[in-house]
């Protein structure tokens, strides 16, 4: 018995020592937390949410509905009150009779509520059902509003959903059974680790509450991601040009130049050997070049779209022609770089420049008449705020773009990661795609505003024409043979809008491929994974819905189908070209220097 008492005493002492250690940690972390929050810079209200005008429109529409159709409003309210009261009474009656099982639960399945306690525990089940009833009431109230135009309705729907998602009981420690259970199992250690994660994220982002989605220490560009062999063969203030080392003895005569978006870094196309599109294309026998855009600072305040076209696209095309001694090349544009590539091709058409043999567009918007989900952020309230900030700082900082795209998938990219990191105390995963997602870039302020105003808001490229480099270009000016890939669940560049833009281009030789999945996974889809399939249909005279309804589905990646298309436009085979064999100066190994620069806070 004495021995048992000694063991218990030791265990109590160990628990006390652990508690004291955690208290010391909490005190240290609290001091760091205060210091990190002190770094936070003020953000203009116009960049944190929609203007008050939108809320006034919604309130006015609701008041008008109440005046003109009071029966419907009363019906909504009575229905919500009735369901809420019935659920409350059912739960109370069960508890009063000692029944600890929750009342019948007919709420829809939701992966946020996977813990069995959400179904079996009366407290957690009551919270979940009430949350779902409230969410349903809010959605119904907004859905039935009349007197609002379609665009305002879409924005009200979106921001209402943001409020609903934010208020989920899973987002709060006291109402999250997973976090509470884990805290008990770890004697509170998970909460201390969660606080450590929170402080680290605040310090990493200068006081901004941004969750690190991936372990930043697990990756280094050039060491274990972005590792395809090659050399930087040209550099100016806008980009570095990388030429990749051949992986075959012979290559197609016509080289291939890839323009990635400058709102992210190019190595999304070269994450790892298993899913590197750059490596795969090189393995098929092509001389591959890629543009690595500069991560601009305040010194780029006056850079415009014209500069990206002249000093970026046109200069890169000329350099590839010069290095390979070829009069024509093939090009790829991804996302915003595809949009700008279409502008560049229109300009080249007007100038009589036939340097481009064919063009491929990845998830590219050129017709902005339907802006898709991201359109809720493209009204004047947000764009005016971006323009004011651009005038003040010279930049559109990465923070605002990251937030915008994250809130399009807030449960996946904000709340769930925050729960795992801050409540569960889990370390961020070593996930290359999420690491890339957090490796952000700034944009020159004037260029960003020019893009947002002229293309996104006024849709000039598909309508009146977009002003660039002293002239005006239109989609009909794009006449080279082209292939476009859209992605079925793309929430950034909706595939049907991409398709509509391709239809308006002047080329007589067009191919459109629709990949399964989204903006990234639909493109970075190597054949070896055998994961996502794709659709084809040669009749581009059809509407998007008709095109898909009549399309043929193919299992597996679209990469081989596209390569077959590219093969026919890439000339005969010639001895493989090595970086530097043309006499071009080697400025350093791939992936270069520009890709490693970090965005200014």
Which amino acids are annotated catalytic?
Answer: 335
Going from the C-alpha of 126 to that of each of 90, 106, 120, the distances in angstroms are 10, 12, 10
Cβ(230)–Cβ(579) under 8 Å? yes
Contact 394, 443 (CB under 8 A): no
Q: Going by DSSP bridges, is the β-strand pair 552-554/239-244 parallel, antiparallel, or unpaired?
A: unpaired
Residue 286 structure tokens: 């092509």
Angle (nearest 5°) at CA 355 between 364 and 350:
75
- Using DSSP, state whether 380 is helix, strand or coil: helix
- CA dist 186 and 408 (Å) reads 34
3-state secondary structure of 388: helix
Q: What is the DSSP string of 8-38?
A: HHHHHHHHHHHHHHHHHHHHHHHHHHHHHHH
Please name the helix (run of DSSP H) or strand (run of DSSP E) that holds residue 176, with its range, or none.
none
| C-alpha Rg value of the chain to the nearest Å | 28
Here the tokens at position 471 are 């002239």
Sheet holding 534-536, edge to edge: 552-554, 534-536, 510-515, 482-487, 356-362, 329-334, 256-259, 288-293, 239-244, 230-235, 588-589
Q: Residue 223: how many CB atoms within 10 A of its CB?
A: 8
Q: How far is CA 457 from CA 388, 452, 521, in A?
A: 17, 6, 28
């Amino acid at each position: 018995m004495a021995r048992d008492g000694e063991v218990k005493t030791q265990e109590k002492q160990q628990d006390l020592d652990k508690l004291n250690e955690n208290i010391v940690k909490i005190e240290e972390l609290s001091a760091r937390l205060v210091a990190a929050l002190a770094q936070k810079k003020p953000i203009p209200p116009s960049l944190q949410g929609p203007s008050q005008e939108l809320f006034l429109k919604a309130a006015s529409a609701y008041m008008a509905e109440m005046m003109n159709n009071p029966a419907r409003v009363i019906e909504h309210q009575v229905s919500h009150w009735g369901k809420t009261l019935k659920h409350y009474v059912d739960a109370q009656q069960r508890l009063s009779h000692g029944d600890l099982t929750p009342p019948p639960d007919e709420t829809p399945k939701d992966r946020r509520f996977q813990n069995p306690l959400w179904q079996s525990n009366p407290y957690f089940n009551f919270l979940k059902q009430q949350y779902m009833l409230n969410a349903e009431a809010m959605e119904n109230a907004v859905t039935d509003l009349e007197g609002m135009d379609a665009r305002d309705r879409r924005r009200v729907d979106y921001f209402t959903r943001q409020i609903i998602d934010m208020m989920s009981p899973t987002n709060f420690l006291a109402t999250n059974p997973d976090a509470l259970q884990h805290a008990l199992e770890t004697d509170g250690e998970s909460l201390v680790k969660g606080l450590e994660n929170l402080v680290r994220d605040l310090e990493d982002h200068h006081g901004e509450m941004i969750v690190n989605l991936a372990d930043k220490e697990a990756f280094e560009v050039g060491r274990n991601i972005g590792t395809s062999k090659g050399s930087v063969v040209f550099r100016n203030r806008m980009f570095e040009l990388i030429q990749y080392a051949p992986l075959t003895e012979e290559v197609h005569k016509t080289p291939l130049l890839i323009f990635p978006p400058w709102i992210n870094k190019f190595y999304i196309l070269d994450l790892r050997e298993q899913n590197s599109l750059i490596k795969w294309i090189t393995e098929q026998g092509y001389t591959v070049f890629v543009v690595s855009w500069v991560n601009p600072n305040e010194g780029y305040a006056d850079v415009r779209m014209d500069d990206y076209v002249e000093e970026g696209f046109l200069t890169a095309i000329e350099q590839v022609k010069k290095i390979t001694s070829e009069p024509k090349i093939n090009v790829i544009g991804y996302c915003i770089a595809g949009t700008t590539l279409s502008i560049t091709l229109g300009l080249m058409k007007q100038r009589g420049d036939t340097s481009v043999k064919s063009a491929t567009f990845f998830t590219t918007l050129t017709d902005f008449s339907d802006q898709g989900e991201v359109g809720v952020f493209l009204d004047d309230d947000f764009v005016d705020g971006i323009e004011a900030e651009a005038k003040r700082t010279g930049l559109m900082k990465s923070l605002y773009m990251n937030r915008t795209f994250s809130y399009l998938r807030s449960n996946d990219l904000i709340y769930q990661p925050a729960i795992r990191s801050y409540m569960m105390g889990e370390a961020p995963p070593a996930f290359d795609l999420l690491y890339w997602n957090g490796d952000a870039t700034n944009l020159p302020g004037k260029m960003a505003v020019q893009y947002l105003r002229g293309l996104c808001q006024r849709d000039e490229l598909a309508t009146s024409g977009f002003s660039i480099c002293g002239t005006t270009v239109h989609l009909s000016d794009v006449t080279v043979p082209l292939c476009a890939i859209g992605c079925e669940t793309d929430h950034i560049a909706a595939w049907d809008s991409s398709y509509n833009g391709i239809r308006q281009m002047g080329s007589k030789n067009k191919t459109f491929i629709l990949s399964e999945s989204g903006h990234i996974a639909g493109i970075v889809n190597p054949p070896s994974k055998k994961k996502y399939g794709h659709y084809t249909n040669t009749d581009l005279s059809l509407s998007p819905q008709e095109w898909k309804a009549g399309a043929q589905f193919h299992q597996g990646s679209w990469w081989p189908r596209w390569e077959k298309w590219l093969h026919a436009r890439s000339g005969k085979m010639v001895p493989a070209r090595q970086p530097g064999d043309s006499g071009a100066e080697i400025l350093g190994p791939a992936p270069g220097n520009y890709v490693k620069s970090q965005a200014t806070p």
